Amino acid sequence: MPLTELDTPTLVLDLDAMERNIQRMAQFAAAHGVQWRPHAKLHKSARIAQRLVAAGASGCCVQKVAEAQAMAAGGVRDIYISNQVLAPQKLQRVAALARQLQQQGGRLALAVDSAQGVAGLAQALQGAGVPQAVEVFIEIDIGQHRAGVGPGAPAVALAQNIVRQRQLRLAGLHAYHGGAQHIEDGSQRAAAMQAAYALVRQTLEQLHAAGFTDLAVTGAGTGTFALEAASGLYTELQPGSFLCMDAHYARVQPVPQSPLPGPTHFEHALFIKTQVLSSCATHAVVDAGHKSHAIDSGLPMVWNQGQPPLYEFRNGGDEHGIVAPRVLHGALHAPVPALGQALWLVPGHCDPTVNLHDAFVGIRGGLEQGVVQEIIPIDARGALW
Amino acid sequence: MPLTELDTPTLVLDLDAMERNIQRMAQFAAAHGVQWRPHAKLHKSARIAQRLVAAGASGCCVQKVAEAQAMAAGGVRDIYISNQVLAPQKLQRVAALARQLQQQGGRLALAVDSAQGVAGLAQALQGAGVPQAVEVFIEIDIGQHRAGVGPGAPAVALAQNIVRQRQLRLAGLHAYHGGAQHIEDGSQRAAAMQAAYALVRQTLEQLHAAGFTDLAVTGAGTGTFALEAASGLYTELQPGSFLCMDAHYARVQPVPQSPLPGPTHFEHALFIKTQVLSSCATHAVVDAGHKSHAIDSGLPMVWNQGQPPLYEFRNGGDEHGIVAPRVLHGALHAPVPALGQALWLVPGHCDPTVNLHDAFVGIRGGLEQGVVQEIIPIDARGALW
């Protein structure tokens, strides 16, 4: 099917661009000798997770037990739930999934940040028939002040707690700074991460001193992954957004005088195709609103083949977007889009945008001349539990 | 099932509160002699649409053809697509749906705001076997500056266009001011609507002068419905949010010195049950982020049984929320919520929140002691086309 026939609004994945992004990340991970377990909370698709594994990723990260179940159902064998799980009904599902994955030669790992979380997980695993101990990573707070135990002594105390549970194996530290990923200024982002690495280093030293060795460190997002890799501390990178590159990451600048790649190392691969439904002298109204794309990290960018946008996107509510020509030197940059015209939007934030849709329309050959290649189910859309 | 066993995060609908809201709106519509066709873009559930019809509503409004199809599949017979439809593949579905509904004794209506839209719809209906002419409402711009033709002469020109198409019947005007619904100050909201009504009145007068009579006027949302009803211009009200009452509408104040009800006439009926996953001295982290609730109209409110909130909700990203005790007179209002504790959130904006979930968990007996009564499918979740 040619793209001109695609109904709107539709979530479109440029498979050619995505594959180039995957190759770039695979080459980076290989060159820096770090393991790579990209986050599936972005794409929520077992098929895409499998393609990342085929390109060298060890498995995938997820945030929710239900996401882990969806990835396992689609054949992914190495899954890390990079989040706390406390509810007994969830922990029962965790135990069943750990057994299933281990029996298939795979593994399930989890993050913990409390003694209560450790005890609950150990209890759920008791008698659940899981062959080997389940890996846990201690989440430490390295600057975001969201979840995580404090660096240093609190992490050591939790490690001592973990190793008393024979159902668990201390795998290492989870040290992710979500807030730093989107600091647009390169120097400020690097500074935030240097402060974070000091906390990771200090915690590792205290853990080593307490006799805990062979610890992995997992973390990193698309905004900072190269800094984590260069830190010498991290053994595993988790970034997911590099796959699609949202409009906000395009504004995250490289670190000055650094040879390391940043988010702009990658291409935009995720788009919303939309259509003009109404048009007047000043603006057009398109059929994509925030039921089609997330707006938490800013509004979408109207795609202009990689050139500076001709149009500004304004919030038109749940079901509409307002598209107006940008003004340059007092003149309109372009005519108001005509009734029926198709436009392509780059979402401000990919993760919650993907979560609004049931499938990616995978295309090849570019947005102008391309064709629909495959429909990729978003298996874990709405998998909140 | 008692609510204590409900997994999190989950979308919970308090059926008792919703039914009281429905009764209040039904009584209001009856007392003011206006038809009532509540918007299903909020609830997206055919079962709820049917209950509204049972309470006196004439049918439902929707924004998308796919929503209309979902409502018709669930037995709703009177459906108004209050939006422009231009794409030929959508218009084919419109024609098939109009035929189906008319054959069942029902009807499908649409909004138009362009000659191109009129021509496309008429063409799609030609030879499609639809027994009667399809009703169209002319959308006029009454102040939101989104879609709609200009009031007055442009609306008359479009009416002349419509009546030349034998497949169409001019039903009246669509005059909705979405932006005014959420003006928190009552006087300012009333002033915006008075300006809007002047445009509706002027357009009606010009249409009457041009020979168009027996025209309905449809519009209104939960922020302004009583003003439209009192204007003497509107024959049909569309509000949907009154059903659930989101946190933002709770901040929309009544019009001073007016006996007419405003949004606070209704009760909060929609909640997200969430659980504390992580806790420290200053705040707790819960498992509901903006993949569980929309944040376009502000963050959720932490429910305190109708009393002023004890906790502030802060954005924690896609998967997390930060809950911190409010500070009053220099002291914390309440202890930091404990690990594992359940909290109830009132979403900032119901419509896009509902669209994130596959079902409502319908409860009775209140949030503290209540039980799960029924699971209500959100049939049109993600129905963007």
Q: Do B382 and A358 touch (CB under 8 A)?
A: yes
Is the domain spanning A15-245 CATH 3.20.20.10? The answer is yes
Q: Is A4 exposed, middle or buried (0-12, 13-18, 19+ CB in 10 A)?
A: exposed
Minimum distance, in Å, between the CA of residue A34 and any CA atom of chain B: 26
Chain B residues with beta carbon closer than 8 angstroms to that of A351: 291, 318
Name which of B85, B90, B352 is nearest A290 (Cβ-Cβ): B352
pTM of the model: 0.96
B24: nearest Cα among B251, B303, B260, B193: B260
> Best interface-test mutation with A: which of B86, B176, B315, B379 has the largest number of A CBs within 10 A?
B86
Q: Do A7 and B114 touch (CB under 8 A)?
A: no
Chain length of chain A: 385
- CA–CA separation, A26 and A57 (whole Å): 8
Strand B168-174, strand A134-139: pairing: unpaired
Q: Kindly give the parts of chain A with pLDDT less than 70.
A: none
* Residues with Cβ within 8 Å of residue B227, at least 6 apart in sequence: B189, B190, B193, B220, B255, B260
Chain B residues with beta carbon closer than 8 angstroms to that of A276: 86
- CA–CA separation, A318 and A293 (whole Å): 9
Q: Do B278 and A8 touch (CB under 8 A)?
A: no
Minimum distance, in Å, between the CA of residue B356 and any CA atom of chain A: 6
Measured CA to CA in angstroms, residue B383 lies from B147, B201, B221, B354 at distances of 21, 35, 21, 12
* Residues with Cβ within 8 Å of residue A301, at least 6 apart in sequence: A247, A250, A309, A313, A345, A346, A348
Q: Do A84 and B278 touch (CB under 8 A)?
A: yes
Tell me the domain boundaries of chain B: 15-245, 270-377
Q: Do A296 and B278 touch (CB under 8 A)?
A: no
Among all residues of chain B, which has the CA nearest to that of A359? B382
Name which of A114, A117, A296 is nearest B295 (Cβ-Cβ): A296
Contact A240, A43 (CB under 8 A): yes
Minimum distance, in Å, between the CA of residue A361 and any CA atom of chain B: 14
Chain A residues with beta carbon closer than 8 angstroms to that of B318: 41, 63, 296, 351-352, 355
Q: Do A63 and B319 touch (CB under 8 A)?
A: yes
Chain B residues with beta carbon closer than 8 angstroms to that of A299: none
- CA–CA separation, A275 and A342 (whole Å): 4
> Best interface-test mutation with B: which of A113, A121, A272, A277 has the largest number of B CBs within 10 A?
A277
Chain B residues with beta carbon closer than 8 angstroms to that of A381: 382
* Residues with Cβ within 8 Å of residue B181, at least 6 apart in sequence: B221, B222, B223, B224, B252
Minimum distance, in Å, between the CA of residue A357 and any CA atom of chain B: 6
Q: Do A296 and B275 touch (CB under 8 A)?
A: no
Name which of A113, A117, A385 is nearest B7 (Cβ-Cβ): A385
Among all residues of chain B, which has the CA nearest to that of A148? B278
How high is the pLDDT of residue B333? 78
Residue type, position A193, single letter? M
- Tens of pLDDT along chain B (385 residues)? 889 899 999 999 999 999 999 999 999 999 999 999 999 999 999 999 999 999 999 999 999 999 999 999 999 999 999 999 999 999 999 999 999 999 999 999 999 999 999 999 999 999 999 999 999 999 999 999 999 999 999 999 999 999 999 999 999 999 999 999 999 999 999 999 999 999 999 999 999 999 999 999 999 999 999 999 999 999 999 999 999 999 999 889 989 999 899 888 999 999 999 999 999 999 999 999 999 999 999 999 999 999 999 999 999 999 999 999 998 787 877 999 999 999 999 999 999 999 999 999 999 999 988 999 999 999 999 999 9
End-to-end CA gap in chain A: 36
Among all residues of chain A, which has the CA nearest to that of B276? A86
Contact A41, A61 (CB under 8 A): yes
Minimum distance, in Å, between the CA of residue A30 and any CA atom of chain B: 30
Q: What is the 3-state secondary structure (H, E, C) of chain B?
A: CEHHHCCCCEEEEEHHHHHHHHHHHHHHHHHHCCEECCECCCCCCHHHHHHHHHCCCCCEEECCHHHHHHHHHCCCCEEEECCCCCCHHHHHHHHHHHHHHHHCCCEEEEEECCHHHHHHHHHHHCCCCCCCCEEEEEEECCCCCCCCECCCHHHHHHHHHHHCCCCEEEEEEECCCHHHHCCCCHHHHHHHHHHHHHHHHHHHHHHHHCCCCCCEEEECCCCCHHHHHHHCCCCEECCCHHHCCCCCHHHCCCCCCCCCCCHHHCCCCEEEEEEEEEECCCCEEECCCCCCCCCCCCCCEECCCCCCCCEEEEECCCCCEEEEECEECCEECCCCCCCCCEEEEECCCHHHHHCCCCEEEEEECHHHHCEEEEEEECCCCCCCC
Minimum distance, in Å, between the CA of residue B352 and any CA atom of chain A: 6
> Best interface-test mutation with A: which of B318, B341, B360, B379 has the largest number of A CBs within 10 A?
B318
The alpha carbon torsion through B164, B169, B170, B175 (nearest 10 deg) reads: -130
Which residue reads 């500076």 in tokens?
A308
Name which of A7, A64, A384 is nearest B89 (Cβ-Cβ): A7
Name which of B63, B287, B316 is nearest A146 (Cβ-Cβ): B316
- CA–CA separation, B289 and A359 (whole Å): 22
Buried-state track A315-324, b at ≥16 Cβ within 10 A, e below 16 = ebbbbbbbbb
Name which of A9, A86, A147 is nearest B384 (Cβ-Cβ): A9
Q: Do B290 and A285 touch (CB under 8 A)?
A: no
Contact A248, A182 (CB under 8 A): yes
Q: Do A63 and B352 touch (CB under 8 A)?
A: no
**Among the CATH numbers 2.70.98.50, 2.130.10.10, 2.40.37.20, 2.60.40.10, which is that of B270-377?**
2.40.37.20
Q: Do B87 and A291 touch (CB under 8 A)?
A: no
Within 13 Å and on the Cβ side, how many CA atoms surround B192? 23
Minimum distance, in Å, between the CA of residue B138 and any CA atom of chain A: 13
Q: Do A352 and B291 touch (CB under 8 A)?
A: yes
Chain B residues with beta carbon closer than 8 angstroms to that of A246: none
Among all residues of chain A, which has the CA nearest to that of B358? A382
- CA–CA separation, B337 and B319 (whole Å): 18
Residue type, position B126, single letter? Q
How high is the pLDDT of residue B89? 95
Minimum distance, in Å, between the CA of residue A367 and any CA atom of chain B: 19
Q: Do A147 and B278 touch (CB under 8 A)?
A: yes
Chain B residues with beta carbon closer than 8 angstroms to that of A283: 145
Q: Do B86 and A116 touch (CB under 8 A)?
A: no
Which residue reads 């707070």 in tokens?
A141
> Best interface-test mutation with B: which of A42, A85, A319, A349 has the largest number of B CBs within 10 A?
A319
